[in-house]
Amino acid sequence: MPDPNPPEASGMDRLREQVRANLAAFQRRTAAPPPNARRAGVCLTLHPHRGEPHVLLIRRVARGRNAGQWALPGGRLDGTETPQQAALRELAEETGICAGPAEVAGHLDDFVTDSGFVITPVVVLVRLPPRLQRNPDEVHSLHPIPLRRLTDPDIPRWRTDPRGRPLLLQLPLRRGMVIHAPTGALLWQFREVALPGRATRVADLTQPDFTRT
């Protein structure tokens, strides 16, 4: 008779409990939207893939806003949506993952982008391996990244911009994958807060010029 709780499943359960506990203890910071700011919600989605936990990234199609950029599933609020509702709706539309409030472990700090968006990161814990289905109108490709790669000691790498401000590079999560703020900042805070429980802030991290579109 098969084991109803194989080791990898038990390990994922412990990881989900750890993430929920750390986010519950984290005092997240909300941002006061600047004039004419736009609101958005994105999902940091932790899910099993090939027997181990992964975080889901997407690459945008090569047209429109943020063309060709690495990103987290998510987008702007519609009507009276909350950031969490928008993030979960966009997750389903862009990747085929249908998650509800029960799968939400918590939120990280709001991140104000140089292009005038206030992004709310929503941490989503998916229990079973999802059947991914990209939306070709918005998503060029879907990329599950092993959590162990995000926590490797050589991640992240840092540079400074011409004005001496910290510029974060999540490099190399995969060959050819270089991720800057804001997505890189949100991944860095997720790594620091959700896993070891460190109250790391990322609001001061700089965006490269090409992300300000």
DSSP track, 104-122: EEEE---EE-TTSEEEEEE
Domain ranges of the chain: 7-211
pLDDT in tens, the chain (213 residues): 444 444 466 789 999 999 999 999 999 999 987 777 899 999 999 999 999 999 999 999 988 777 789 999 999 999 999 999 999 999 999 999 999 999 999 999 999 998 889 999 999 999 999 999 999 999 999 999 999 999 999 888 888 888 888 888 787 788 888 898 899 999 999 999 999 999 999 998 888 776 655
Number of CB atoms found within 10 A of residue 25's CB = 11
Q: What is the predicted pLDDT for the residue at 178?
A: 86
> What's the sign of the alpha-carbon dihedral 136, 138, 143, 144?
negative
CATH match for 7-211 among 3.40.630.30, 3.90.550.10, 3.40.720.10, 3.90.79.10: 3.90.79.10
